[in-house]
Amino acid sequence: MGTSDDRRAAVNQIQAQNRMSPQRWLREIGWRHLVLSLACVFALYPVVWVVSAAFNTIDNQAAARLIPAGLTTDNFTELFTNPLTPFGKWIFNSWKVAVTASALNVTLAALAAFAFSRLRFRGRRTGLLSLLLIQVFPQFLGFIALFLLAQQIGELFPAAGLDTHLYLILVYIGGAIGFNAFLIKGFMDTIPASLDESAEVDGASVFQIFWRIVLPLARPVLAVIFIISFINVYSEFILARTLVRSTDNLTLALGLQLFVESDFAVRWGNMAAAALLGAFPIVFTFLVAQKQIIGGLTQGAVKG
């Protein structure tokens, strides 16, 4: 008993010595909690305002309050019942374009990165530097050329011309594949080349080395690039506004513009409800791809 009491007393004495005074806690730790709390309030306030406006019965920003006097779901109902604003089709268009463009972007960038990282051929360094040099120029510098090219392609192949999702996807792919290939190459350079040599000894082809060894190990960076590409394409406005015209082919970002321009007055309730629903595909895609990031860290091609 004496030994147990002595240990308990020693532990209490150590805890008392380590216990900080309120002044010291505020000086060393408390101010960090204060800054973090202010940052959280600053980041969450727009989200809270959008949620409040989506359920608010007052469709006027000047008269609306953060805590609405009444709650309603009419703003959400009108999104799917108004024939002039096919909101469901806009979300599907954005999701289709973003997923397709991001998947193709990651696939082509991974193939290019593997070639620059693992293969040795003449002009490899020049080609990589050329891809990076092209990324220096903003994409909107080619808007006129892209618009005229879409018109010319549409005369020969209407399915890939102006006001089509196929042409928009091709433009999105060409605008980001260079920089993404450079990022993936940097990650592939960290993968030991001895894995390639072991696979070659076992008779694996170059594509088998890429598909079964390098690609699984590079899954974390592929997932990150897919998420970034998806978010950028899903919310892109300027390029889509130039190449897409008809109401049924609009993406979500273009469709939200109609709520701003309708009847010369901003429909804040409908716009907030549309923005709230439009955020779900991004959150869902991020959660799905996040599993790939974690799983890619534990999967490899090391032969035991």
**CATH number for the domain including 222?**
1.10.3720.10
Query: Which helix (H) or strand (E) element contains residue 124?
Result: helix 124-136
Q: Is residue 223 part of a domain?
A: yes
* Range list of β-strands (E), 37-105: none
Question: Which pLDDT value is given to residue 168?
Answer: 92
CA distance 270 to 266: 9
Mean pLDDT per 10-residue segment, the chain (304 residues): 62 59 72 86 87 78 67 84 84 92 93 88 83 76 86 88 91 83 87 87 88 87 87 90 88 83 66 86 78 55 40
Question: Which pLDDT value is given to residue 248?
Answer: 86
153 lies in the same domain as 237: yes
233 lies in the same domain as 85: yes
Question: Which pLDDT value is given to residue 80?
Answer: 85
Q: Is residue 40 part of a domain?
A: yes
CA distance 99 to 206: 28
Question: Which pLDDT value is given to residue 299?
Answer: 47
Structural domain including 211 reads 80-298
Question: Which pLDDT value is given to residue 263?
Answer: 53
107 lies in the same domain as 53: no
Tell me how far CA of residue 190 lies from CA of 121, 183, 186, 295, in angstroms: 20, 12, 7, 18
Look at residues 42, 71, 38 and name the one whose alpha carbon lies nearest to residue 57: 71
270 lies in the same domain as 253: yes
